Amino acid sequence: MWMRWDKSDRENIEDRRGQGTGGGGLGGGGFGGMRLGLGGIVVLGVLSLVFGKNFFAMLGGGDQTVQPAQGPTRQYPASAEEEQLVDFVNAVLKDAQGFWRGKLGDRYEAAKVVLFTDATRSGCGFAEAAMGPFYCPTDEKVYVDLGFYRELKTRFGAPGDFAQAYVLAHELGHHIQNLLGIERRMRAEQQSHPDEANALSVKLELQADCFAGVWASAAQTRGELEAGDFDEAIAAAGAVGDDRLQKQATGRVNPETWTHGSSAERIGWFKRGFDGKDIDACNTFGDRTASPLRR
């Protein structure tokens, strides 16, 4: 991929790698307003099958109390390869945020990316690496354990640096939804129509994919993409579809528990944003909302 990396400026990167945290697993803290990360679908799918309980329902709320960090911070022994990945994440973050700032003007507020290992605290509750990258609207931060990028290649079969960029662009899409009030309106719709909660969540996730496509299209127009980058993003979108992940994790596909959309839907909406080149192409909610940009 492209990227003229600026290794000296990580102003919107919050590095918590190697820091311990309190709390305890899935039962130790609620999900609150957190959007479940790309890898978390696998975890909740397995738990739902084993215990006969819909763990996906926890996405709707919960206790946001988190225990304070335990123990002293230790120096994190990052490899040169991992530090290069941090530089890459920072470069994608700066490029994407510059694009959205140009689109939204004064409405745009910078998001931060929190890098962590194993577990950390967020404004939405206790977070573990197994959940995958996620965005928390409460503190306007994206949480990433860099180990997910290795899994994206080895476990999900989606290698390439632009596949990694797609993941971050998707989470920043949730930040755009938060700034424009789309997240809040979706939550209100879920409360008014609880029988449509999962379907509404899927629409929100597909819109974030579409927003990622809008940014990717702008990056291509600026000459920042290389041959094969678009295909890497498409492969990543398809690799983390609910149907594919559920089939991989449990051998079953249950659309009623989907929260992100099928592989075909995720690819389709990323392409729609890429081809449409504008946020107005991303109204996944149909008649429920007006243009997300003008609202």
Residue 81: pLDDT band (50, 70, 90) is confident
Mean pLDDT of the chain: 77
- Does residue 183 sit within a domain? yes
Indicate the pLDDT class of residue 96, thresholds 50, 70 and 90.
Answer: very high
How does pLDDT run across 255-266, given as a tens digit for each residue?
Answer: 666 678 888 899
Residue 293 lies in a domain: no
**Total number of domains in the chain:** 1
6 assigned to some structural domain:
no
Residue pair 285/291 in contact by the 8 Å Cβ criterion: no
Q: Where are the beta strands (DSSP E) in 164-243?
A: none
pLDDT bucket at 132, cuts 50 / 70 / 90 = confident
Query: Is 58 within a domain?
Result: yes
Q: Could you list the residue range(s) of the whole structural domain that residue 148 is in? A: 13-288
| Region at 52 (left for phi over 0; alpha for psi -120 to 50; beta for the rest) | left
pLDDT tens sequence across 233-279: 888 877 777 766 666 677 776 766 667 888 889 999 999 999 999 99
Q: Is residue 4 part of a domain?
A: no
Domain contains 54: yes
For the chain, the straight-line distance linking the first and the last C-alpha, in angstroms and rounded, comes to 34
